[in-house]
Amino acid sequence: MTRRPAFRLQPVLELRRREERTAALAAAEAARTAAEAGRRAAAAEAAAAGALPTGPLPAGAFQAALLRARLATEDAAAARALATASAEQAELVAAAWTAAAQRTKGLERLRERHVQAVRVAEQAAEERAVDDLVTGRAGRPATAGEVPWTG
């Protein structure tokens, strides 16, 4: 059996597949980070809403409660900003994963075309061999002036 021609871009395809896997892992990690940041922001916002003074308090306690509420609100705003930034970062990482997947897919299509072309060539060679056997040309030397049929 003859050796099949190798797909010359196989090392590049393998590199692209590794890049895609790495990008997929990074996208998953960024999504987890963004989700966790969103949960922390929601918890901080709930804590800020609960930090407001609700009943009559002495003046000093009221001022302290307002200060705690202001700090809780600032913490919640910072947590929400972090959650927003994490979500944006996750979108960028997901876009990088999509780009890596598209590059891989393009090379995979080239490889599929190569494999198909090799199959077609092998099938054509096999058909020529069968035709030669059927017509009796196999094993007999070509005579002068005989043009080999390429069918």
d(CA 44, CA 19): 37
Six-digit token pair at 116? 């198909």
Six-digit token pair at 13? 């395809």
d(CA 128, CA 120): 12
User: Measuring CA to CA, which residue among 114, 123, 115, 125 is closest to residue 150?
Assistant: 125
Burial 83-100, CB ≥16 within 10 A → b, else e: beebbeebeebbebbeeb
Beta-carbon count within 10 A of 16 CB:
20
| Residue length of the chain | 151
Q: Which of 26-30, 118-122, 134-138 has the highest mean pLDDT?
A: 26-30
Q: What is the pLDDT of residues 47-93, one digit of tens each?
A: 998 888 788 889 898 888 889 999 999 999 999 999 999 999 999 99
> pTM of the prediction?
0.68
Residues of the chain with pLDDT > 90, as a percent, come to 64
Question: In this predicted structure, what is the pLDDT of residue 144?
Answer: 60
User: Measuring CA to CA, which residue among 100, 48, 50 is closest to residue 78?
Assistant: 48
Question: In this predicted structure, what is the pLDDT of residue 151?
Answer: 54
